[in-house]
Structure 1
């Protein structure tokens, strides 16, 4: 029950919040085994919920409800082959959402499915050089009465990362990711990070530069009121540099200060359009920078 009391400014008295109950049911099971250098885990999770959605306190009782159900299954297998550590992961999910409001004659029904396979290999080339390779295949599908037809996306990805201890104080972390989207083509996302220990395990400086890629969501593209199928993918270049102090230095606690700069191209934002609806649009560029601690 979620029918809490509140003060109603219209009647100038306390009232009970109405139409605000919710019911959640969850089930989760996990199993696995381990033998020598092999390890397997499997986890199944189920959720079913029924929520009443209240109006604001000035309107009173509402009529809308939300029925949700989700099923997710995650598996992972770790094993070693010679000097190479491998991991295989699979993820399957289905989510069902049903929102309806009989007073407004609104019903939104959607079913989403996801499938992701990932295979990674890590090898210690030397005590100071760790190299990883990650290959993944991702598929997602959405069926909803809000879109004209079923929407889907496939993404294939190849990523290389390295951890290089160039000296006792200097660490270098390059990365390169290549992705292919079924609807947005090929994207390249490199990054390069450096960490330098001024005083080992006590004071350090770090820096990072990376290029990132984000494809529009299905709602950005296909939502009937404001979706824009002509959107371009969003890209960003991030530069960050900072200094950190750990609690090992004079016992003063952990502290961190960093400068960042983000340059976004074709950023996606929902802006006021014609009528009462917002519309997804690309803006030319956005530059943000600042200091955080």
Structure 2
């Protein structure tokens, strides 16, 4: 395909997806946003003077991170991502960060909690757009594959001013990254694991100076054929999960260094609990379509997107499942200016939501949302950096608070940096919380949080050793916390005021000498999250008590050893790839299951071992990963008082063709 033909196709694909969003917003009444959007577009596409000198464009996948001064951001390196390409984000992040996951079983619904908050207080961003379900306000981390993304980061603490709604506890950042060099890669991966579980992946990358493409197909089946029905008198719940998906990332760089991209992500997941018995069987089907088109022209970025989430839930023979179907149309426009030491970034994002949910009484619910934001970054000196951000959301029948934030970073010495951040956050109640028949309340108030945190970072390198440490303390007070109140038949109310506070410590030690490298990455967090006000006479006993399913202490550690050459002669010497062994550890203290802390799950410790090696011959690479999970056969429970699997094994084979 010729270059101009390829540009024509990509360009018009983008216009098609953008036009969907524009038509939707025009019909639903965002004339000012639409007018600004079209005026910006006219300015962009009118640049036809090839003799005009254009500024060099630096393409960044997640520009907002530059405006998060004072916030803790943990990036995951590519080597670690490659080891975990067959894992879900829930399984992977459990051993990488002090993050609280709450699984309902192996391969079943898994929710996240950051810094003592609940599952709908963490935003999940895919290439800059929030993919949390508008109905539940959260993402199922058992359906998010690690292999689908090039960049992965965890952002801790309130970031509503940058991310928007949901980011009271933090956010998960998932991004795709183009490669602007001539390269062709084909990869096939197969995983075979205990309990008759398996996964298959096929991916291809093709890139040149102006074109970059990544295609990923994945398919996995968890039959969970356990050889036991109970562990230490706790039942082991049988379930099956069938998941598959397709990811396509396309990037094109014009002669004027403008970037056009198209990102597509399709997923289909089917989980069956107790499949052996029709009387106790539960079926959860989830399907998603995510399409994002982005134009980056100099300092102006335009996005148009479409997201569809479908959920079917039923019991028994699954004849009449409860159905949820939500469509979202998104447009976003933002521009950045550079004035000496000051960087200014302003933008707006509009969304139109259409919900068909059986639980809402059969009627279609539509909703328009608009966000306006401004971010400022000022480099006072080589040592002092400050950011000042603000976001205002507009939603019909709501009055979300203005979300400002001030962040500072100060380089005290060459190896010591101090950080601080003060921010206000908010969460717009989910559609389930507002519109669920009889239990929902359309008049709920948005949740309103005020977060303060301080941090210190220390880095030191000497000879073959490098050392980095960080210590963060935070205090996050959240008002109007939405609560499904059991005292009134679980009707939704703004009842709780919750205070989440704690400290986080991370340590990285690395050693590199000739062909040998090793290192330790460890994290610890202390989290105290409790209700602060009583809303009736029955809630007095829970004041100051730890919220359920949130452990006070959480530890993770990864110890690795790697050698570039395994063997002094022969086949391994000539064609061998690095040998790497990684020992993972994850532990947490007791998790309370009763609001008065009278019942709990005991603390747990899980150890995993991963061994990796491979051979390389010309353009062909073959890697083998052998993994032992839960080495010491630890008994730990899910949120349903069912035991999770004991010791289990997996072997992964990955074949790569690079040219």
TM bracket (short chain):
0.7 to 0.9
Task: Tell me the SS of whatever aligns to 2:437.
Answer: coil
Residue 294 of structure 2 corresponds to: 76
**In structure 2, C-alpha distance between the alignment counterparts of 1:284 and 1:110, rounded to whole Å:** 28
Alignment of 1:289 with 2:289, yes or no, is no
Task: Tell me the SS of whatever aligns to 1:146.
Answer: helix
**In structure 2, C-alpha distance between the alignment counterparts of 1:7 and 1:256, rounded to whole Å:** 43
Q: Is the 8 A contact 2:280 2:316 kept in 1?
A: no
Task: Tell me the SS of whatever aligns to 1:220.
Answer: helix
Alignment of 1:25 with 2:239, yes or no, is no
Q: Deviations over 1:129-176 (max 9, x none)?
A: 111112111222221111022223221111111110112211111011
Unaligned runs of 5+ in 2: 1-221, 506-659
Residue 221 of structure 1 corresponds to: 434
TM-aligned CA deviation for residue 225 of structure 1: 6.2
Q: Is the 8 A contact 1:242 1:259 kept in 2?
A: yes
Q: Is the 8 A contact 1:238 1:261 kept in 2?
A: yes
Task: Tell me the SS of whatever aligns to 2:429.
Answer: coil
In the superposition, relative to structure 1, how do residues 8 and 37 fare at CA in structure 2: closer, same or farther (>3 Å)? closer
Q: Deviations over 1:44-84 (max 9, x none)?
A: 222233332227x9x8974332333222111111111xxxx
Q: Is the 8 A contact 1:4 1:17 kept in 2?
A: no
Q: Is the 8 A contact 1:242 1:257 kept in 2?
A: yes
Q: Is the 8 A contact 1:3 1:16 kept in 2?
A: no
TM-aligned CA deviation for residue 249 of structure 1: 8.0
Alignment of 1:231 with 2:444, yes or no, is yes
In the superposition, relative to structure 1, how do residues 252 and 271 fare at CA in structure 2: closer, same or farther (>3 Å)? farther
Residue 423 of structure 2 corresponds to: 210
Instruction: Count matched residues.
Output: 279
Q: 2:485 aligns with which of 266, 271, 285?
A: 271
In the superposition, relative to structure 1, how do residues 130 and 248 fare at CA in structure 2: closer, same or farther (>3 Å)? farther
**In structure 2, C-alpha distance between the alignment counterparts of 1:280 and 1:107, rounded to whole Å:** 24
Q: Is the 8 A contact 1:180 1:187 kept in 2?
A: no
Quote the RMSD (CA, aligned, Å).
2.9
| 1:148-167 superposed matches below 5 A | 148=361, 149-167=363-381
TM-aligned CA deviation for residue 104 of structure 1: 9.1
Residue 44 of structure 1 corresponds to: 264
Residue 352 of structure 2 corresponds to: 139
Q: 1:4 aligns with which of 200, 225, 245?
A: 225
In the superposition, relative to structure 1, how do residues 102 and 291 fare at CA in structure 2: closer, same or farther (>3 Å)? closer
Alignment of 1:97 with 2:291, yes or no, is no
Q: Is the 8 A contact 2:427 2:446 kept in 1?
A: yes
Give the structure, 1 or 2, with the largest relative contact order (CA under 8 Å, sep 6 or more). 2
Q: 1:65 aligns with which of 269, 277, 283?
A: 283
Q: Is the 8 A contact 1:235 1:266 kept in 2?
A: yes
Alignment of 1:256 with 2:476, yes or no, is no
In the superposition, relative to structure 1, how do residues 240 and 21 fare at CA in structure 2: closer, same or farther (>3 Å)? closer
**In structure 1, C-alpha distance between the alignment counterparts of 2:454 and 2:236, rounded to whole Å:** 52
TM-aligned CA deviation for residue 41 of structure 1: 0.8
Higher strand share: 1
TM-aligned CA deviation for residue 208 of structure 1: 0.7
**In structure 2, C-alpha distance between the alignment counterparts of 1:184 and 1:255, rounded to whole Å:** 42
Residue 655 of structure 2 corresponds to: none
Q: Is the 8 A contact 1:6 1:17 kept in 2?
A: no
TM-aligned CA deviation for residue 187 of structure 1: 3.0
TM-aligned CA deviation for residue 269 of structure 1: 2.4
TM-aligned CA deviation for residue 183 of structure 1: 2.9
In the superposition, relative to structure 1, how do residues 105 and 26 fare at CA in structure 2: closer, same or farther (>3 Å)? closer
Task: Tell me the SS of whatever aligns to 2:370.
Answer: strand
In the superposition, relative to structure 1, how do residues 273 and 16 fare at CA in structure 2: closer, same or farther (>3 Å)? closer
Q: Is the 8 A contact 2:401 2:448 kept in 1?
A: no
Q: Is the 8 A contact 1:209 1:238 kept in 2?
A: yes
Q: Deviations over 1:210-248 (max 9, x none)?
A: 111111111112223632333211101111112111244
Residue 172 of structure 2 corresponds to: none
Q: 2:406 aligns with which of 185, 192, 196?
A: 192
Q: Is the 8 A contact 2:417 2:456 kept in 1?
A: yes
Q: Give TM-score scaled by structure 1 length.
A: 0.84
Q: Is the 8 A contact 1:5 1:17 kept in 2?
A: no
Task: Tell me the SS of whatever aligns to 1:219.
Answer: helix
Residue 171 of structure 1 corresponds to: 385
**In structure 2, C-alpha distance between the alignment counterparts of 1:291 and 1:69, rounded to whole Å:** 38
Unaligned runs of 5+ in 1: none
Q: Deviations over 1:95-149 (max 9, x none)?
A: 22112224698621111111211111111111x2111112111222221111022
Q: Is the 8 A contact 2:368 2:395 kept in 1?
A: yes
Alignment of 1:183 with 2:420, yes or no, is no
